[in-house]
Amino acid sequence: MKFTRRALRGIAAAGLLAGAAVLLPGCSHTTGSTTTAMTQRNTAFGPVIGNDDSAGTGTLSWKGVPFAGAPVGALRWKAPVDPQSWNTARPATAFAPACVQTGRLYGPGLNNRYDATIGSTLGQTLGSEDCLYLNVWAPAAPTATPRPVIVWVHGGSNITGYTADPVYDGAKLARSADAVVVSVNYRLGIFGFLNLAQLKPGNPADDSGNFALLDLVKALEFVQRNIASFGGDPGRVTLMGQSAGAVNVYALMTSPMLAGKSPQLFHRVAALSGGLSTAASLPPGSIPGVLPQAVWATRGQALLTQSLIADGTAADDAAAKAYLAGRTAQQVADYLRGKSADALLTTVRTRLTPLGMAASNPIPDGMVVAADPIAAVRAGRYVKAPLLAGSTRDETKLFPQLFAIRPNLGGVSGRLLDDAAVFSLAFKYIPEGPPSTRVEEWIPAAYLPVGTPATGFNARAQELNRIWFMAIRDDMLAALRQQQSPAWLYEFDWDELPKPFDDIFGAAHAFDLPFVFGNFGSSLFSNISFTQANAPGRVALSGAMMASLGAFARNGDPNHAALGTAWQPWPARIVFDATPEAARIAPR
């Protein structure tokens, strides 16, 4: 891009105007270089120039803003550090790369976006270790006061995901909620969570192994220092996450490192479809959200041992153990840091996955993550903040493979198609055409008809939901209720998908997210979900949900007049649903 001398003088002067621009983020709607100058904002590390889409979405945006230095080399498996400062205005107009990960159905394609290449990246290494960047959307319209802030933490089992996912675009939510929306990259998989003795130098943060959570803390600190320059109120920050993102949000809410910290890094919590309970706090047979620290130590040691075997340094476990006995902790750390991300992830895929050791999640170290988060809440040792929890009626229809983990769930997988087949069908599906697939192609005969009591697909999914998502959700809500912290719950019941997907997925896990963000364009499940016929109802429902999130971000209460009913705190809930023609919102 070329700048005139006049424009360059404008850019240089923009720092002087930044204070005025805080409350008037859309003070210029012209095109060309003046608009470029007027999207400049100063951060503690240097100025950034964003996009003016006031004529389209009604927002301004800044993408790929660094909040930490690249966690590479000696900084791999270290707490994040500040980014290097810069003086020249930095373009912030495109998403930064996704954090390095193995390609999955829920990850990016080769171009860091949702496209056809996702089908060819499944099981392959993609993304970058240099990934600690965030994105900001703000309404372009002037405001008399700073706007509340919503910080989004994506899901993906803590092993996959990317802020460039089109579902997570923050423009519509920012405008509808009248808020500043921030989305954050954080380290994933073994790069985000690793418990290994040889990587513990003796300081509590690094020793925790919870590098992903430390990334999120670093991003929240960036928000506190800089969000006023983008029109946001650092005193009204909502930390919102879904699935693994909700797990991470709860981990920070109950973190001993943050409990009692003043000023608080966040002031409301929105946790959608997640929980953080140990087995001890749940009813028998439930699936916990927190595993003991020793489990993660075993998995960390397995990564080291299997890496030595994979590269030929050791022939087997015994040889690896003998080899390590003659090495210092620093030598082991240097060995692992010297390996490429692809080599490490290949070891995870080919060696740890068959051993059942490929998962990643918060490690209860007692400093970053509470040893027992529910006990911490019951004792009042958590970040005091109103909570908005969300769940979908059919969470586990996204994971019917897990019917195989227990005989009382059926004992065999509930999905006949692998991820490659699911992606191919979903990507090419024509939503306005006649059904071109059948339930029988997706669901084993043992679970059909889907509505069969006790043994049908619906019943098995509900039982898995009961012992998993509902158990960890209600455990946290009950603990918070003892502390008299205000908490609200929604249940998402929308299932107006075209047949047969209303049975296959229904109101599945993550199917509420397009409604939360107002994004019904091309994305993973859009072609099998959204039709012209169901547009009026879903758009109306999305508007109500975004307005509730905006109300919650402003004042800690999701009630607003457009709901048409009072949303009472938990254990009551509100049900978000719609017919094809209109929203259908009611208490339950």
Q: Measured between alpha carbons, how far is 531 from 408 in angstroms, rounded to an integer?
A: 36
Q: How far apart are CA 299 and CA 98, in angstroms?
A: 24
Non-local (6+) Cβ contacts of 82 within 8 A are 45, 68, 69
Pairing of strands 583-587, 574-578: antiparallel
Q: Contacts from 43-46 at CB under 8 Å and sequence distance 24+?
A: 43/222, 43/225, 43/226, 43/229, 44/222, 44/225, 44/226, 45/82, 45/83, 45/84, 45/85, 45/86, 46/85, 46/86, 46/87, 46/88, 46/89, 46/90
**Which residue out of 61, 157, 183, 243 is catalytically annotated?**
243
Residue among 39, 40, 79 nearest 368 (CA): 79
Output the CA–CA distances (angstroms, integers) from residue 293 to 140, 334, 382, 472, in the order listed.
46, 24, 20, 19
128 is catalytic: no
How far from 172 is each of 59, 175, 180, 213, 283, CA to CA, in Å?
Answer: 8, 5, 11, 27, 40
- 382 secondary structure, DSSP code: S
Q: What is the DSSP string of 6-34?
A: HHHHHHHHHHHHHHHHHH-TTS----SHH
- Tell me how far apart the alpha carbons of residues 430 and 435 are, in angstroms, rounded to a whole number: 9
Please choose, from the candidates 47, 31, 34, 39, the residue with its C-alpha nearest in 3D space to the C-alpha of residue 6. Answer: 34
SS (H, E, C) 498-564: CCCHHHHCCCECCCCHHHHHCCCCCCCCCCCCCCCCCHHHHHHHHHHHHHHHHHHHHHCCCCCHHHC
Instruction: Say if CB 422 and CB 105 are below 8 A apart.
Output: yes
Q: Pick from 454, 482, 447: which is nearest to 374 by CA?
A: 482
**Cβ proximity of 364 and 293 under 8 Å:** yes
Whether the Cβ atoms of residue 96 and residue 131 lie closer than 8 Å to each other:
yes
Instruction: Yes or no: say if 490 and 390 are a contact pair by the CB < 8 Å rule.
Output: yes
Q: Over 118-155, what HEC string results?
A: HHHHCCCEECECCCCEEEEEEECCCCCCCEEEEEEECC
Which positions are annotated as active-site residues?
243
